[in-house]
Structure 1
Amino acid sequence: MVKRVLIFDSGVGGLSVYQEIYAQLPDVQYIYAFDDAAFPYGELPESELIERTSYIVNLLVARHQIDLVVVACNTASTIVLPTLRGQLTIPVVGVVPAIKPAALLSQQKVIGLLATPATVQRAYTDSLIRQFARDCEVLRIGSTRLVEMAEQKLRGEAVDLEELREILSPWRQRVDCIVLGCTHFPLIKAEIQQAFEQPVQIVDSGKAIANRVKALLGEIPCERKEPNLTYNSAAVLPAALNTSLQAMQLQTIKSLDYPRS
């Protein structure tokens, strides 16, 4: 029987996670859902974030008989995972900033954490730093604008390198390792590297998530699977984004209605 994985995010950032998982598990059927109508999640009250995520995930788990859920959003993962794990009987995998591998990689012991404003300020992030990077100085930049840049890139727009350099300018000549603490940011990894004069190592949690999903799913039948699906809560998607989704083997776009209060 075909295994089905639901990957959920507020926007297209979770596609970076989807690509890592798909590379290891091409015979799984994927349902990618993004709540574009409420993007970005980092600006929502926690109660609304929990309500929206729980509704959408539970709806699609029931509709498609999902075997495993990936919450491919750092902001949602730090808030919603306990609720979802209490509601569902299947595994729910979240994402966290890759602080531990960055601390091991850094030679200067000065790390840059690049995430959304909500993630860099969260107590959970402070706990990760205390646990895994006690011997490092961890500099933080919280940027919603970089999330927008990643979304725009996947919609066919060019990334403004000068604007990107300005956002990252406090780290020039200071960090040697950068943690991408938002799943959107691997989509502009090449541009982030171009913004620095010095060499920097960039780490994210995509491969670790893929390894975890593979371990939890167990043996995958090698049989013909159903087409991968995409759900979106926004009314219209740009043609360039549809093209990008299709290139990633996400062929079908479905509307995702969220009940209005």
Structure 2
Amino acid sequence: MKNKLQILIFDSGIGGLYFYSEIRKYIPHANYIYVLDNEGFPYGNKYKNFIFDRVTNIIIYMHNLYKFDLTIVACNTASSIALSYLKKFFISPVIGIKPDINESVNITKNNIIGLLATKITINYVLSNFFNFKSLNKIKLITLDANELIKLSEEKMRGKIIHLNKIKNILKPILLNKNIPDTIILGCTHLLFFYYEFKKIFPIGTKFIDSKKILLNKSIMLISENYIKKNKIKHQTVYYTKNNRYFKKICPLLNKYGFKYLKKIYIYK
């Protein structure tokens, strides 16, 4: 019977903290290692090869340091590019997060769906889902969420983000004659704007994200044979560069219970 459960959560920034806080409610006795590639952030404007190399190299590096029971790629962009490879590479389970297309198709009433995501995630959705005949009746309106991602990080650090600023970014969707009745939040960062989106979009708009799927997978993959000890109070963050961005988010990481901050020396 194992007595120490190790879980790795990876993201380019701090959007994955949402999933960390949710998963910890259900699996409180694990040792969580949060890895953020702040040197590569944001991934939304990077090339695929760049992202693939960084995600795979960093996660493999971490697996050489710890024996993880579960690896969570809490980033849509990283999952779209590297998840399949990582699943084949490791024996222990690796799960990621991708836009829940099936649920959005099932619940839309006007057959118009909005997708807020990075360009890479948008292209992934277009190439893997919307080339099927069964989806021909669905109209997909996409929006590059790179600016929203940056704003969400500012909000998480305590800055007040005015609603009009978010609304202006969403104009390409809001100015359509027929507005989507279903919006896919295709990036973990966007979950921190959920209540703002509820105010901006028409009443009754459905917002789809993959947090329930990710939580259920995580809980399902964790064996009941682990000894439940007291909750570990202080968790560890690994980062890729000690830059101004990292110094700004340190207070937030401490707030989430991450007291041990360590640098990854995989890139010079």
Fold conserved between structures, TM > 0.5: yes
Bigger mean CA deviation after superposition, 203-212 or 240-249: 240-249
Correspondence for 1:245: 253
1:186 is displaced (CA, Å) by 0.3
Distance in 1 of aligned mates of 2:185 and 2:104:
10
> Equivalent of 2:190, from 156, 178, 185?
185
Q: Which amino acid in the other structure matches residue 216 of structure 1? A: L
What secondary structure does 2:87 align onto? helix
> Equivalent of 2:150, from 135, 148, 168?
148
Distance in 2 of aligned mates of 1:23 and 1:170:
37
Correspondence for 2:230: 224
1:171 is displaced (CA, Å) by 2.8
Residues 1:84 and 1:12: Cα distance change in structure 2 (over 3 Å): same
Correspondence for 1:169: 171
1:134 is displaced (CA, Å) by 4.9
Q: Is the Cα contact below 8 Å between 1:235 and 1:255 reproduced in 2?
A: yes
Correspondence for 1:67: 69
Distance in 1 of aligned mates of 2:9 and 2:201:
32
Distance in 2 of aligned mates of 1:214 and 1:106:
29
1:126 is displaced (CA, Å) by 3.5
Residues 1:135 and 1:218: Cα distance change in structure 2 (over 3 Å): farther
1:29 is displaced (CA, Å) by 1.5
Number of corresponding residues: 259
Q: Which amino acid in the other structure matches residue 78 of structure 2? A: A
Distance in 1 of aligned mates of 2:230 and 2:4:
8
1:184 is displaced (CA, Å) by 1.0
Bigger mean CA deviation after superposition, 63-72 or 251-260: 251-260
Distance in 2 of aligned mates of 1:15 and 1:34:
10
1:22 is displaced (CA, Å) by 1.6
Distance in 1 of aligned mates of 2:257 and 2:184:
28
Q: Which amino acid in the other structure matches residue 112 of structure 1? A: G
Q: Is the Cα contact below 8 Å between 2:74 and 2:96 reproduced in 1?
A: yes
1:151 is displaced (CA, Å) by 1.1
Q: Is the Cα contact below 8 Å between 1:118 and 1:142 reproduced in 2?
A: no
> Equivalent of 1:2, from 4, 8, 22?
4
Q: Deviations 1:201-230 (Å, cap 9, x if unpaired)?
A: 212101210100111122142113553211
Distance in 1 of aligned mates of 2:209 and 2:258:
23
Question: Superposed, which structure 2 residues align to 1:190-205 within 5 Å?
Answer: 190-205=195-210
1:34 is displaced (CA, Å) by 0.4
Q: Deviations 1:218-247 (Å, cap 9, x if unpaired)?
A: 214211355321111231456663333233
Q: Which amino acid in the other structure matches residue 237 of structure 2? A: T
Distance in 1 of aligned mates of 2:186 and 2:135:
15
What secondary structure does 1:37 align onto? coil
Correspondence for 2:216: 211
Correspondence for 2:240: 233
1:39 is displaced (CA, Å) by 0.6
Correspondence for 1:127: 128
Bigger mean CA deviation after superposition, 143-152 or 217-226: 217-226
Distance in 2 of aligned mates of 1:214 and 1:125:
30
Q: Which amino acid in the other structure matches residue 222 of structure 1? A: K
Distance in 2 of aligned mates of 1:180 and 1:108:
18
Q: Is the Cα contact below 8 Å between 1:159 and 1:191 reproduced in 2?
A: no
Q: Which amino acid in the other structure matches residue 246 of structure 1? A: N
Residues 1:240 and 1:45: Cα distance change in structure 2 (over 3 Å): closer
Residues 1:28 and 1:129: Cα distance change in structure 2 (over 3 Å): farther
- Structure 1: tracts of 5 or more residues without a match: none
Q: Is the Cα contact below 8 Å between 1:91 and 1:216 reproduced in 2?
A: yes
Q: Which amino acid in the other structure matches residue 166 of structure 1? A: N
- Structure 2: tracts of 5 or more residues without a match: none
The percent identity for this pair of structures is: 29
Distance in 2 of aligned mates of 1:14 and 1:125:
24
